[in-house]
């Protein structure tokens, strides 16, 4: 039998989602398994065996495996990475500590800044110096560098970041040091800034290189373990990893630069929003992905999520910009807007209701899971409000204890002076308002208006909350695609191979050496092409975009623009000014423009990606109405006798009115009163607020 099927595995904080897709006809089989935090691959393989049994699928028929994980991000947050050292230019060993010297909360006298990934004793100087243009001011003393590294190895360091001043302009010293270190200490994992983040600004470049070094040994061990487990399971297909930029790469590239995977899971959610949005013929989508631990939002314009060229990891204050570690990688622009289904509700010190950010995770999980959780969570409140069905949780495969959830909610409500029902809706409403508030600010910062978008919900919890979040945002259209509970995993299977590369290019527009720019782009494209070719992607259908970081001379920050096909001073200036106006409304008259960096993005479709999606039984036309139950809708006065539908039995073209509950194995879509509901051609359910 030909190995033609695709398998997606997305390991989240609470559940591990698995999807097998047949690209020939779009048939998809979905399974959700509880994540095993002690060994994430164990839960993934357990879920895989159950998925194959459910679908009657032979392991040998799986031709490729696509994977996303939060493991590396969690290692940064929890400070559970490798013992990492830093070798940097003499006089710059404290850059990681000093940072930008900015306070993200100006008047907080007890401000907590993100702790550096490399402790002070493990940051060692190298005797060398380059000028900003890359010329050598002081040659590298290789022997002195080796003595410093020898001391680090003796202290227990297993991974080393090498980040020399101005190495983005000339990588010679870093490469010379790495060659000597690798020869003397072959077991030491090395990360070079000229390979990981060849861009200006010492602090973010050093943080990015240190972050890569911090997770690199973990990534190598984890990926080797996962590959071996897949082989033992009889799966012949190659393993591909989801990158933060919304593309795929092969294992070797992921091991080389695992920092590119830090936002891989959330990026897949944004891709799913874009893909389902295109199939539902929606140009503008707010991709709302809410799982068991976090909720994130991505803006999708014209069918594509916005890509940024950096983000903050491991924030000390979850929603405050500047409180995290700046990482210079290409990433789908994601907005963390709130908590997840496992987020814990508590009474605050002020006597008010507080929800999250602490999560019950997979172990012990919400109280209703019956695994030892004692504090009520968002999932417990959703169950008490009638949004979830205790007898059909994960399609009936998981036993839920509604009594325990009710007791825990009642206890919390009592400390707040509320009855149990009001306390339960309070939890649901607080988390919705937190998400809507964060989304309003983030959308406004990008010059957008929520009302212009449709809210598309993926993840196990998003369809439960999307209707009420949309109401708070003023969004009139809410969409729940088929298989929404495993939407991120479906998005991964539709992703192309993609590589983003960058090179420093500091030149005024009026004095640019266009031949030099062309040579840089050619080198970047050759590098990206080699990586993408190794994935087996369809190279004849590749797409290449050339971009540049540019600014007005004298500015301290730049913007990234897509360059025109014909590179001339006039065309580039026009493109830059148009992008600048879209962000800031006007351009300063007579100001000179300069390049800061050149970027190249190369993507190509993966075999087996794209096409349609067909869930087993979807639209079969059997009896769709499962019954009625009391569901809490505050705008309708409280509990409402609400019809409950089998999502799989709704044929295309069905039109209903809200309120309604739509149940499928992986999620539940809640629609309130005053809605017109349509089942679209691709199986998505569109709920439009008309009252």
Of residues 12, 8, 64, 36, the one with CA closest to residue 483 = 8
Q: What is the pLDDT of residue 622?
A: 64
Please say if the pLDDT value at position 617 is more than 60. Answer: no
Position with higher pLDDT, 150 vs 650: 150
Residues 433 and 523 in one domain: no
Which pTM value belongs to this model? 0.88
Structure tokens at 437: 């508030």
Residues 454 and 556 in one domain: no
Average pLDDT on 661-680 reads: 92
Least confident of 62-76, 193-207, 489-503, 504-518: 62-76
Please say if the pLDDT value at position 318 is more than 60. Answer: yes
Position with higher pLDDT, 445 vs 5: 5
Residues 556 and 424 in one domain: no
Structure tokens at 477: 């259209």
Position with higher pLDDT, 652 vs 501: 501
Structure tokens at 33: 């398994």
Task: Answer yes or no: is 297 within a domain.
Answer: no
- pLDDT grade for 593, boundaries at 50, 70 and 90: very high
Least confident of 352-361, 387-396, 498-507: 352-361
Q: Over the stretch 91-127, which tens digit does the pLDDT of each residue have? A: 999 999 999 888 888 888 888 888 899 999 999 999 9
Residue 35: CATH number of its domain = 3.30.420.40
Q: What is the pLDDT of residue 419?
A: 82
Residues 124 and 184 in one domain: yes
Q: Please say which residue of 552, 570, 604 terminates a domain.
A: 604
Q: Please say which residue of 578, 604, 630 terminates a domain.
A: 604
Tell how strand 454-458 and strand 284-290 pair up.
parallel
Structure tokens at 67: 């994977």
Residues 132 and 59 in one domain: no
Q: What is the pLDDT of residue 621?
A: 54
Alpha carbons 217 and 147: distance in angstroms, whole number: 23
Residues 70 and 90 in one domain: no
Q: What is the pLDDT of residue 3?
A: 63
Task: Answer yes or no: is 99 within a domain.
Answer: yes
Task: Answer yes or no: is 611 within a domain.
Answer: no
Residues 392 and 541 in one domain: no
Q: How many CB atoms lie within 10 A of CB 91?
A: 10
Query: Among 354-358, 407-411, 453-457, which range has the highest average pLDDT?
Result: 453-457
Task: Answer yes or no: is 268 within a domain.
Answer: no
Residues 539 and 629 in one domain: no
Residues 540 and 689 in one domain: no
Contact 394, 666 (CB under 8 A): yes
**Domain tally, the chain:** 4
Collapsed DSSP state (helix, strand, coil) of residue 357: strand
Alpha carbons 449 and 442: distance in angstroms, whole number: 10
Residues 150 and 100 in one domain: yes
Range of the domain at 126: 84-201
Task: Answer yes or no: is 636 within a domain.
Answer: yes
Residues 385 and 287 in one domain: yes
Q: Please say which residue of 604, 632, 667 terminates a domain.
A: 604
Q: Which residues of 454-470 are buried (b: 16+ CB within 10 A; e: fewer)?
A: bbbbbbbbbbbbbbbbb
Q: What are phi and psi of 23, to 5 degrees?
A: -65, -15
Task: Answer yes or no: is 492 within a domain.
Answer: no
Residue reference for tokens 């405050």: 320
Collapsed DSSP state (helix, strand, coil) of residue 149: helix
Instruction: Count how many Cα atoms sit within 13 Å of the Cα of residue 649 in the half-sphere of its side chain.
Output: 10
Task: Answer yes or no: is 42 within a domain.
Answer: yes
The mean of the pLDDT values for the chain is 89
Residues 443 and 532 in one domain: no
Structure tokens at 490: 């479906």
Q: What is the pLDDT of residue 1?
A: 37
Task: Answer yes or no: is 107 within a domain.
Answer: yes
């Amino acid at each position: 039998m030909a190995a033609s099927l695709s398998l997606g595995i997305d390991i989240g904080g609470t559940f591990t989602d698995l999807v097998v897709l047949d690209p020939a006809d779009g048939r998809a089989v979905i399974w959700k398994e509880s994540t095993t935090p002690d060994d994430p691959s164990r839960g993934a393989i357990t879920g895989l065996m159950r998925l194959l049994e459910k679908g009657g699928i032979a392991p040998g028929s799986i031709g490729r495996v696509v994977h996303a994980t939060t493991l590396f991000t969690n290692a940064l947050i929890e400070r559970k990475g490798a013992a990492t050292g830093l070798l940097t230019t003499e006089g710059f060993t404290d850059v990681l500590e000093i940072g930008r010297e900015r306070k993200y909360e100006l008047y907080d006298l007890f401000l907590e800044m993100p702790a550096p990934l490399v402790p002070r004793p493990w940051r060692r100087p190298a005797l060398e110096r380059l000028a900003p243009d890359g010329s050598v001011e002081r040659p590298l003393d290789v022997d002195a560098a080796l003595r410093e590294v020898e001391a680090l190895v003796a202290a227990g360091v297993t991974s080393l970041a090498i980040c020399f001043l101005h190495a983005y302009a000339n990588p010679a010293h870093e490469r010379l040091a790495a060659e000597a270190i690798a020869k003397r200490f072959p077991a030491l994992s090395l990360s070079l800034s000229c390979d990981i983040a060849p861009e200006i600004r010492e602090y973010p470049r050093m943080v990015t290189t240190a972050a890569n070094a911090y997770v690199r040994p973990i990534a190598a061990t984890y990926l080797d373990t996962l590959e071996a487990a897949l082989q033992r399971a009889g799966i012949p297909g190659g393993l591909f990893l989801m990158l933060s930029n919304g593309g795929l790469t092969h294992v070797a590239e992921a091991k080389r630069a695992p920092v590119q995977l830090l936002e891989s899971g959330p990026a897949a959610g944004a891709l799913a929003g874009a893909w389902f949005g295109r199939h539902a013929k929606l140009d503008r989508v707010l991709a709302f992905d809410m799982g068991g631990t976090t909720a994130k939002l991505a803006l999708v314009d014209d069918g594509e999520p916005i890509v940024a060229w950096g983000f903050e990891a491991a924030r000390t204050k979850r929603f405050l910009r500047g409180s995290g570690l700046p990482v210079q990688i290409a990433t789908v622009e994601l907005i963390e807007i709130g908590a997840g289904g496992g987020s814990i509700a508590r009474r605050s010190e002020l006597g008010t209701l507080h929800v999250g950010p602490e999560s019950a995770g997979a172990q012990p999980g919400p109280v209703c899971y019956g695994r030892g959780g004692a504090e009520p969570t968002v999932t417990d409140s959703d169950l008490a409000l009638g949004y979830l069905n205790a007898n059909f949780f994960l399609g009936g495969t998981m036993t839920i204890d509604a009594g325990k959830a009710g007791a825990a909610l009642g206890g919390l409500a009592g400390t707040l002076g509320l009855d149990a029902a009001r306390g339960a809706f309070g939890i649901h409403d607080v988390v919705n308002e937190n998400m809507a508030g964060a989304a309003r600010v983030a959308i406004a910062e990008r010059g957008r208006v929520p009302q212009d978008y449709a809210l598309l919900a993926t993840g196990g919890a998003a369809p439960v909350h999307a209707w009420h979040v949309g109401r708070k945002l003023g969004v009139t259209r809410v969409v729940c695609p088929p298989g929404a509970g495993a939407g991120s995993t479906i998005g991964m299977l539709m992703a192309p191979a993609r590589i983003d590369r960058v090179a420093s290019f500091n030149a005024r527009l009026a004095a640019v050496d266009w031949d030099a720019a062309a040579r840089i782009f050619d080198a970047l494209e050759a590098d990206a092409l080699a990586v993408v070719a190794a994935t087996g992607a369809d190279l004849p259908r590749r797409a290449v975009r050339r971009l540049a970081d540019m600014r007005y001379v004298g500015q301290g920050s730049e913007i990234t623009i897509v360059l025109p096909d014909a590179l001339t001073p006039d065309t580039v200036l026009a493109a830059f000014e148009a992008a600048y106006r879209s962000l800031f409304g006007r351009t300063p008259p007579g100001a000179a423009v300069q390049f800061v960096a050149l970027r190249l993005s190369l993507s190509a479709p993966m075999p087996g990606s794209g096409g349609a999606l067909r869930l087993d039984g979807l639209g079969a036309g059997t009896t769709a109405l499962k019954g009625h139950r009391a569901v809490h809708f505050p705008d309708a006065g409280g509990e409402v006798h609400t019809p409950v539908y089998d999502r799989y039995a709704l044929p295309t073209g069905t039109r209903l009115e809200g309120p309604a509950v739509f149940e499928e194995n992986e999620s539940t879509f809640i629609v309130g009163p005053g809605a017109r509901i349509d089942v679209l051609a691709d199986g998505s359910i569109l709920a439009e607020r008309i009252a």
